[in-house]
Amino acid sequence: MNLLKLLSPLGKDLSKMGVSDWIKAVAVLACFFLLIFTIFEVVLFYPQILSAIKGVPYVENRPVEIIKECDFDVTTKKVKSSTHIVGIFDRRDRLIGHGSGLALSGAENTGKILTNYHVIEGNYKIKVWYGYDGVRWVNATIDSSFPDSDIAVIKIDRSFPNTAGLVNSGGDLVSLNLREAETLRTAGWPNSPDGSATITQGIFSRRVNVEGVELLQTDAAINPGNSGGPLFNRCGVVGINTAKLSAVGVEGAGFALSSKYIGRVTGITIQP
């Protein structure tokens, strides 16, 4: 068998090929390599191509399917059921103040609630509105506190049936991928500690760093009693409400400690 014939792209003896044969051979090879390159590009950039076809923005390290599966109604119900009243009582066992708190999940966090330090600061009794099995107020103790960061974890001797996904391990993808003007909601008990938690809604404005403390600014209503309650988007909790800017001519400036910052201080991070 002629070796030159085997090497010919057109199955001809290379020594007998004319100009037109060589043009056809080059065209065949070009089409072959173009096909290989196209397949390579599709495999390498499949997520971006899929996003373009579906008309959904592609976010690196956050697949389109995960973004589309997040549901505000489902997340709101879950977060609301995990939010509890943190009551402050005097020595006569009278309720003199309150804030909000978020129950933590995981076996190692049974009965633990994340809240603000300023909510439980002082020589007062701390109680949590339990609300299950006919039980109302339950005594709580301080499990850990970080005064400079306005973070505290309190604990009761009971477990919570519902928790919103705050754990001691995992990745904080939810707050890291916040986008400007993205819709946010808060949960808590502003003004009076009765009834179910109220939900307010606003947008994410920006990240603010104050002496190393990372805050998320939002125009969602944050009022007295909301402190310690969760700030969340459609995928999960992104922070803990901590303050609002009150000044003449200032409206819609609330702030929450970001879950990223909380994780750095306490080791508690959001698992998306």
Active site residue ranges: 118, 150, 227
Amino acid at 122: G
Task: Label residues 52-86 b or e (16+ Cβ within 10 Å = b).
Answer: eeeeeebeeebebeebeeeeeeebbebbbbbbbbb
**Bridge partner residues of 185 (DSSP):** 201, 232
Contacts of 224 (CB under 8 A, 6+ apart): 190, 191
Residue for token pair 């002496």:
211
Question: CB–CB of 196/232 below 8 Å?
Answer: no
Contacts of 266 (CB under 8 A, 6+ apart): 144, 146, 151, 153
**Bridge partner residues of 232 (DSSP):** 185, 237
Residue 123 phi, psi dihedral angles, 5° rounding = -90, 70
CA 99 – CA 197 distance, rounded (Å): 11
* 45 C-beta neighbours (distance < 10 Å), count: 13
